[in-house]
Structure 1
Amino acid sequence: MNEHSTPTTNPSRAVRLETFGGPEVLELQEIPAPQAGAGQIRVRVTAAGLNPMDWFMTSDAETGARFGFSLPIGFGTDYAGVVDQIGDGVTEFAVGDRVFGGALSRAIADFVVVEVAGTIAVGGQAHHTPDGIDDNTAAVLTIAGCTAAAALAVVDLGPGDTVLMGGAGGGVGVFAVQLARLAGARVIGTGSPTSADFLRSLGAEPVTYGDGLADRVRDLAPDGITAAIDLHGSETAQVARELGVADSRITTIAGQIDGITPANGANAVPGTLEEIARLVATNDLRVPIAAAFPVEQVRAAVELQAGRHVQGKVVIEL
């Protein structure tokens, strides 16, 4: 680290897993504070956003191995905070800068070290937080924002499109609905009956998921739909096929269906997060925060998020 770094705080806290499993295995532990090396910055994390991938990746040993994890391991990927230490050679950031980004399965901690030239999966990444965006909001932009943008890119939405969006009120859905509307598309969003008003507030026309979905969509869009984004499983994608949508204009983020290209946030084009942050800062994109928990209540927060019925995003505050 260089002379502009602040003194090390030691020990520090981090949410860790000593064994793979559900929310019950999450522990808030004291660990040595990480130090920024060359080409790295250390961020004092103030807020971390939860995503389904967080608990899915660490749910069992087989899944963890697919992501290259070995125990013990941290938890959470989205974060926001303030740079408090910079390594040699870093010119893009300074101590005191507000930043947000992603660091795979290690973000819910007092400090996270990220590579200035890294990626979310390898080394972590950081972006400057624009004025006008609070840390709780910045902390939920990375995974959901990139995934939503990647999904829209797969189906290439534009004016004149009518898109059926499954799971439209979830963490990715709140971004995908609004980005689709900004692209000029009409959005029909699936959800439970109790989510109808929330979906309307995002700009979607609500439709109840489950048996009979195809008929309900026909009633809403007698001229047909032109694209589909399934943010939950495979029901929406299968219904879109039934309604005559070409596979090239259907995408999923959770379900795998032969012939349909899945969307991956890692494939979002460069500049995606900066553009999403700009839209949030100018109030053109609204980010609903469903709940915020202190880090000591991380298990309860993950249980809520894992229920998959949260309208918006869940935040951990540090």
Structure 2
Amino acid sequence: MFDRYGPPEVLRIAELPDPAPGPGEARIRVRAAGVQPFDVAVRAGRMRRGPGHFPHRVGQEFSGVVDLLGDGVPGPVPGTAVLGSTMLDGQASHLVAPVADLVVKPPELSFPAAAALVAAGQTASGALAQLGVTAGDVLLVHAAAGAVGTLAVQLARLAGATVIGTASPANHGYLRGLGAVPVPYGDGLVEAVRAVAPGPVTVALDAAGRGAVAASVALGVPRERIGTIVDDREAATFGAPVVRAPRSPVRLAEVVALAARGLLTMPVRAYPLAQVARAHAAVESGHGRGKVVLIVEP
């Protein structure tokens, strides 16, 4: 929880009564919870719709085990492993969620691996669908080594697209392993992409900000096929869409099924719940590959 906006150190662990599920809901004993930039922005007070009161909780994604059902709810039966989305209460030992929003966790995935897929999986798959990425496209993914970028690269490759990904040089080998052609971000990005692209870049996904939309325009990508998930201002400047697909348990289940088959991978950087401030700082730094996840219950 946090009692004021501020740096990661404002977060604290509090003892609260266990929530009770209502009609259509299940209570989840959380095993792992993802940390994402949205959580950081809420805690820091950068969201236009931040908490209107304090103290306040945080967290959007979880995996765990059903331990109690609301009245009249037939299932999933207690003991079922699930994952899903929530709103500002996911980094906790227990939460309640609508049963309709839950996805059953395949046994092939650990709880941390499952939690790592929730937000990034829905965001990446939804963005690629909105941008119409198909075989034959040359896709440029900005911040390709991050959580959303990691899944966007792999999903686009599964669709048959050629993928170019921006990342620091330390992550270039990682991107090659995912099937992307890496380029360094920063000065000279446009020239670096042109040097490796097999043809015109036809679509771009911005998970980085910091001029990524402008660089995509300079590369000649049609503006309607430049989607950003982070930079509303630059999108408005250049007439590019902001791609924030709504949450979809169906779309999440599709991503989870691919991961269970070994067709998608997501590196996990795990922190115990007691180190929640360190986990938030890691996300806020903007560095590192894959997904930051809190281990709530080993």
TM range (shorter): over 0.9
The one of 220, 243, 250 aligned to 1:263 = 243
Where does the alignment leave 5 or more consecutive residues of structure 1 unmatched?
Answer: 1-15, 118-124
- For residues 210-267 of structure 1, the C-alpha deviation after alignment (integer angstroms, 9 at most, x for no partner) is 111111111111522111111110523211211211111110000121211111132x
Corresponding residue for residue 10 of structure 1:
none
The one of 142, 157, 163 aligned to 1:187 = 163
Q: Of Structure 1 and Structure 2, which has the larger fraction of its residues in helix?
A: 2
The CA distance in 2 between the partners of 1:269 and 1:47, in whole Å, is: 20
Q: Is the 8 A contact 1:154 1:261 kept in 2?
A: no
The CA distance in 1 between the partners of 2:52 and 2:273, in whole Å, is: 22
User: Are residues 269 and 81 of structure 1, via their aligned partners in 2, closer, same or farther at CA, if it must alter by over 3 Å?
Assistant: closer
Does the alignment pair 1:130 with 2:109? no
The one of 101, 115, 118 aligned to 2:98 = 115
Which one-letter code corresponds to 1:276 in the other structure?
V
- For residues 10-63 of structure 1, the C-alpha deviation after alignment (integer angstroms, 9 at most, x for no partner) is xxxxxx111122211000111111111222110000111111111112212x62
Mapping 1:166-245, distance limit 5 Å: 166-221=142-197, 223-245=199-221
Structure-2-length-normalised TM-score: 0.94
Corresponding residue for residue 80 of structure 1:
63
Which one-letter code corresponds to 1:295 in the other structure?
L
Which one-letter code corresponds to 1:71 in the other structure?
F
Local SS of the residue matching 1:271: helix
Local SS of the residue matching 2:217: helix
- For residues 104-139 of structure 1, the C-alpha deviation after alignment (integer angstroms, 9 at most, x for no partner) is 11111110011224xxxxxxx321112211101111
Local SS of the residue matching 1:165: strand
Which one-letter code corresponds to 2:263 in the other structure?
D
Q: Is the 8 A contact 2:5 2:43 kept in 1?
A: yes
Q: In the TM superposition, what is the alpha-carbon distance from 1:93 to its structure 2 partner?
A: 1.2
Corresponding residue for residue 117 of structure 2:
141
Where does the alignment leave 5 or more consecutive residues of structure 2 unmatched?
Answer: none
Q: In the TM superposition, what is the alpha-carbon distance from 1:166 to its structure 2 partner?
A: 0.3
Q: In the TM superposition, what is the alpha-carbon distance from 1:87 to its structure 2 partner?
A: 0.6
Q: In the TM superposition, what is the alpha-carbon distance from 1:315 to its structure 2 partner?
A: 1.1
Moved over 4 A (4+): none
Corresponding residue for residue 279 of structure 1:
258
Which one-letter code corresponds to 2:60 in the other structure?
T
Does the alignment pair 1:162 with 2:138? yes
Corresponding residue for residue 9 of structure 1:
none
Local SS of the residue matching 1:172: helix
Q: In the TM superposition, what is the alpha-carbon distance from 1:154 to its structure 2 partner?
A: 2.0
Farther off after superposition, 216-225 or 37-46: 216-225
The CA distance in 1 between the partners of 2:73 and 2:50, in whole Å, is: 29
Q: Percent identity?
A: 39
Local SS of the residue matching 1:99: strand
RMSD: 1.5
Corresponding residue for residue 272 of structure 2:
294
